[in-house]
Amino acid sequence: MMENEQLKLRCWKENDYIDYYEIVSDSDVCYSAGCKAIENLEQCKKEIVYKIKCNSSFAIELKDTKKVIGFIGMDDIIIHKNNENATQKYIGFMINKKYWNNGYGTEVVRIFLKYLFHKLNVDLVWTSHYDFNYKSAKVIKKNRFKYKFSKDVNTKKFNKENVKELFYLITKEEYDYNNIGK
């Protein structure tokens, strides 16, 4: 099960679109993740239908209230050619701004890593953040990912001159070592 005492990661349901809208209509939240805010509910409904079909994104539900406060997703892209034969995932996550700074981001990555390494049996998990995204950096480092490399990104969508994306990796061996006895 992908859960802890407070949070549950579950498949999307069609009627999640209002909670989803609350998350992705916030331009600050989207800016940090490098995407555009979504301004209408109809678009959110469509995206939820797509998420239900492709099964690689999970809603983060607050167990107490059943509200969806964010999402976490995985992708099969190969981040670095040195690792191309390993089974691997790239993960990304987003939390509704009203719920930031409660430890949810850190916890949700912790829950998802357990699922990826011990249910899906992947060898490696990658993630990344933009250099200005200190909160995401904290979540990543607290989950003991190791920094690997950076690359310059196209700054068109940012109001900055230079932006780097920093990539991090955690292997199954590292994950298991960090979690011995837990």
Ligand X SMILES: CC(C)(COP(=O)(O)OP(=O)(O)OC[C@H]1O[C@@H](n2cnc3c(N)ncnc32)[C@H](O)[C@@H]1OP(=O)(O)O)[C@@H](O)C(=O)NCCC(=O)NCCS
Residues in contact with ligand X by CB under 6 A are 29, 32-33, 92-95, 100-106, 129, 133-136, 138-139
For the bound state, the minimum distance from the C-beta of residue 134 to ligand X, rounded and expressed in Å, comes to 6
User: For residue 171, which of 146, 138, 134, 153 has the smallest C-alpha distance?
Assistant: 146
Between 99 and 115, name the residue whose CB sits nearer to ligand X.
99
**Cβ atoms within 10 A of the Cβ of 148, count?**
15
CB distance 64 to 85 below 8 Å: no
Beta bridge partners of 151: 165
Name the residue nearer to ligand X (CB basis): 95 or 125. 95
Closest-by-Cβ residue to ligand X is: 105
- Distance between CA atoms of residues 134 and 138, nearest Å: 6
Nearer to ligand X, 101 or 162 (CB): 101
Strand order in the sheet with 146-152: 7-10, 57-62, 67-75, 88-95, 124-130, 164-171, 146-152
Q: How many CA atoms lie within 13 A of 51 on its CB side?
A: 22
Q: How far is the CB of 88 from ligand X (least distance, A)?
A: 16
Residue 85 beta carbon to ligand X: minimum distance, rounded to whole angstroms? 25
Closer Cβ to ligand X, 155 or 173, answer by number: 155
Least Cβ distance, residue 156 to ligand X (angstroms): 18
Q: How far is the CB of 32 from ligand X (least distance, A)?
A: 4
Closest CB to ligand X among 149 and 173? 149
**The total number of residues written for the chain in this structure:** 182
